């Protein structure tokens, strides 16, 4: 049944399938484990989740770091999403990391 009331509509429904696939495949947990060394002791957001959110935003048509706001706008679907400054700090940290640290 199609209802035009607009209640319960999710504009990024394809992202939900991608999110569930990341969870079911273990990709999210794997990224969290590998990127653990870049997580600061009091950090709220997991680096693996941030990288996953960036990939999701690209898959949903985003073309810059700030496009994670599409996910942030729907916390019931995508969960907590890091702020733009937090995303930028992680990308900077990963881009300047020593190759040995990145591979270990």
45 is a domain residue: yes
Q: What is the pTM of this model?
A: 0.80
Residues 6+ apart with CB under 8 A from 28: 22, 48, 49, 52
Largest Cα span, the chain: 55
Per-residue pLDDT at 12 exceeds 70:
no
Q: What is the model's pLDDT at position 14?
A: 80
pLDDT, tens digit, for every residue of 16-35?
A: 889 999 999 999 999 999 99
- Determine, yes or no, domain membership for 95: yes
pLDDT band at 6 (very low <50, low <70, confident <90, very high): low
Q: For residue 1, is it within any domain?
A: no
In a domain, 2, yes or no: no
The total domain count for the chain is 1
User: Is residue 6 in some structural domain?
Assistant: no
Cα 43 to Cα 40, 46, 50, distances in angstroms: 5, 7, 12
Q: pLDDT by residue (tens digit) across 31-75?
A: 999 999 888 889 999 999 999 999 999 999 899 999 999 999 989
Domain assignment of residue 34, yes or no:
yes
Q: Which domain holds residue 33?
A: 13-103
CB contact at 8 A, 19 and 56: yes
Tell me whether residue 8 is in a domain. Answer: no
Q: Residue 58 has what pLDDT?
A: 93
């Amino acid at each position: 049944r199609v209802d035009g009331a607009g209640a319960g509509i999710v504009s990024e429904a394809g992202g939900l399938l991608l999110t569930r696939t990341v969870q079911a495949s273990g990709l999210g947990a794997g990224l969290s484990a590998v990127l653990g060394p870049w997580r600061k002791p009091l950090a709220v957001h997991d680096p693996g989740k941030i990288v996953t959110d960036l990939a999701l935003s690209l898959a949903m048509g985003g073309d810059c770091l700030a496009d994670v706001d599409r996910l942030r706008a729907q916390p019931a679907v995508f969960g907590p999403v890091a702020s733009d400054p937090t995303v930028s700090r992680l990308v900077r940290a990963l881009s300047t990391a020593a190759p040995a640290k990145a591979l270990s």
